[in-house]
Homo-oligomer: A and B are copies of this chain.
Amino acid sequence: MSNEHRPHRPASAATLADVARAAGVSEITASRVVRGRGPISAATRAKVEAAIAAVGYVPNRLAGGLASAGSNLVGVVLPSLSNSVFPDVLSGLNAAIAGERLRTLVAVTDYDLDAERDAVAALLAWRPAALVVVGLEHRPETREMMAASGATIIELMDVEGEPVDLAVGLSHTAAGAAAARRLLARGRSRIGYVGHGAGDLRAAKRRAGLEAALKRDADLALAGAHVLDAPSSVGAGRAALAALLDAAPELDAVVFSNDDMALGGAFHCMAAGVDVPGRLALVGFNGLELANALPKPLTTVRTARGEIGRIAGEMLCARLRGETPPRVTDVGFDVVAGGTD
């Protein structure tokens, strides 16, 4: 009621009513110009815009969202930010939705499915227009919450499994198999594996695809494996390859769980004087920009991370426009022939 002299106190921020009063129009008219909706005469629009500037109005999306039963938020649940993969995805997503004035609400789970469940619940409380999660494997409650929410749900990175709603990604099993076939074609037969900590289900699928293809195509088993119980990192990859070669010096190729680990492997070889690819072939996964700038570019399986984010953003915009995007989008992958195999 009291709004005669409003001090510069953010405690009482200007509301639409203040704008309307200053402009000499009704609240709803002010609301319409704020949102750029409905027919407004140029004259009243100008008055209202002046009033907005005069009172320093900042819309309250809490109220707006409550009144209209939904927000322009996109919940994003990511396993990690510690290598460039998910930041790349987030970047592509952000770029694709910026035009629709959608905002990303981000949570990080550290590859923990219980943390994912909590994050999904917390983000759903914001009545997001869409929720983006990584992978197709979730706790049953997580799936139920997502399905029951009515929001557009997009599951990223993987296409092997049944999505709750929409999925954009690639087949990690196929990617692992492609690495296997690449090495077999290059004449390698004593193939090892270096991996990182549990929780990364897609890395596990790649390894399974690798092993299955080795078996099927050449009746081979992995000739050695070293899996660190730690997040992937270049340092971890370096240490892990050193350990693996120690235990299995006869290996002629190593597949890594991702490029960070592979880069570490490459650095170990440089430092230890292991001839790559002469004595040992190295294959990574992701196709990081960095890995291609090496003196000897890394042979790797490149994924379109930014593009996955971008496509997810576009699908979600399509959905909001009432269109029906394809349920599953497989963006595939490329085997990049570098110099390490």
Residue A328 at the chain B interface, CB threshold 8 Å: no
Residue A65 at the chain B interface, CB threshold 8 Å: yes
Taking residues whose C-beta sits less than 8 angstroms from the other chain, chain A's interface range is: 35 or more
Q: Is A230 an interface residue (CB 8 A)?
A: no
A71 to B293, CA, bound (A): 44
A105 on interface, CB distance cutoff 8 Å: yes
The answer to whether B293 touches A69, judged by C-beta atoms less than 8 angstroms apart, is: no
Enumerate A276-327 residues with CB–CB distance to B below 8 Å. 289-290, 292-295, 320
Q: Are B70's CB and A5's CB within 8 A? A: yes
Q: Tell me if A329 is interfacial: C-beta within 8 Å of chain B.
A: no
Chain B nearest CB, measured from A235 CB (Å): 5
Q: Does A41 contact B (CB under 8 A)?
A: no
Contacts of A13 in B (CB 8 A): 149-150
- The answer on a CB contact under 8 Å between B267 and A295 is yes
Majority DSSP secondary structure for residues of A touching B: mixed
The 8 Å CB contact of A293, one of B4, B61, B126, B234, is: B234
Assembled-state Cα–Cα distance A150/B6 (Å): 10
How far, in angstroms, from A3 to B8 measured CA to CA in the complex? Answer: 29
CA distance A264 to B289 in the complex (A): 11
Quick check: is A148 within 8 A (CB to CB) of the other chain?
yes
- Select the stretch in A96-104, A171-179, A210-218, A220-228 that faces chain B: A96-104
Interface residues of A in 74-95 (CB under 8 A from B): 80-84, 86-88, 90-91, 94-95
Interface-located stretch among A116-124, A190-198, A247-255: A116-124
Pick from B5, B10, B149: contact of A102, CB under 8 Å? B5
7 tightest A-B CB contacts, nearest first: A10-B150, A271-B295, A5-B129, A9-B150, A81-B87, A234-B293, A62-B65
Name A residues whose Cβ lies closer than 8 Å to a Cβ of B.
1-11, 13, 35-37, 56, 58-66, 68-73, 80-84, 86-88, 90-91, 94-95, 100-108, 121-130, 144-145, 148-152, 233-235, 237-238, 260, 263-264, 267, 270-271, 289-290, 292-295, 320
17 pairs, A vs B, C-beta closer than 8 Å = A5-B71, A5-B320, A6-B68, A7-B129, A8-B148, A9-B151, A56-B145, A56-B148, A58-B121, A58-B124, A62-B66, A82-B87, A83-B84, A234-B289, A235-B293, A263-B290, A290-B290
